[in-house]
Amino acid sequence: MTPDLFGGLEDTTQRVEALAAGAVVLRAFAAADAHALLGALATVTARAPFRHMETPGGFRMSVAMSNCGALGWVSDRRGYRYAARDPDSDEAWPSIPPCLLRLAGDAAVQAGFPGFVPDACLINRYAPGTRLSLHQDRNERDFSAPIVSVSLGIPAVFLFGGLQRGDRSLRIPLFHGDVVVWGGPARLRFHSVLPLKEASHPLTGEYRVNLTLRKAG
Ligand code: SIN
Ligand code: FE2
């Protein structure tokens, strides 16, 4: 346990929790690197600012998003896809910061997926009240690489479902520094994020920042 700036206690003990075959939560795995990661991300989002993308159905996504890596996930009236350029600036996305690339590779090893080299990192920023609806990550070209998902800032409840939309979900609270990895038989499991409660974190203020690293191309 480490005292945080508000006098609370943040649990920085690393533990592995199995969720399903091919899926684990690595508790506090990113806690020690969080400060460096957020610093590197500030440089990324200065070049590729957070924005609210439009869904193919014409709705504004409540989660603010940006990307780093050779490919970035984008959504608009034409659909969901990966693009090599930021549609807002027509520039290449900033590259994945080395500390994040290293963390993602190390987390994948811990989860049993050695050799993971992501080429895409979606950066999601959640304010209180925002949510992410049930979906599968399936815009990537090949499903042999896992998904590595890093949680920073205020907590959220992650629902981890099955391979069918209607399957029961596990309800997993995620805290600052937790990393979820799903791959192999779990790679196409449905998942969602419940609406966030109001909270504040010394490193991110009122926000949760989630980084999803993928091999997309
Ligand atoms: C995602 O599925 O893209 C993000 C999951 C999360 O925010 O924990
Ligand atoms: Fe996802």
Coil, helix or strand at residue 47: helix
Sequence ranges of the domains in the chain: 16-214
CA dist., res. 99 & res. 90, Å (int)? 26
172 contacts 157 by C-beta, under 8 angstroms: yes
| Of 193, 209, 211, best ligand 1 pocket probe by most atoms within 8 Å of the beta carbon | 193
Question: For the domain 16-214, what is the CATH code?
Answer: 2.60.120.590
What would the pLDDT profile of 169-214 be if each residue is shown by its tens digit?
999 999 999 999 999 999 999 999 999 999 999 999 999 999 999 9
Q: What b/e readout covers 149-172, taking b as 16+ CB neighbours within 10 angstroms?
A: bbbbbbbbebbbbeeeeeeeeeeb
pTM: 0.95
Flag whether pLDDT at 35 surpasses 60: yes
Q: Report which protein residue has its CA nearest ligand 1's atom 6.
A: 210
The ligand 1 atom at the shortest distance from the C-alpha of residue 210 is: 7
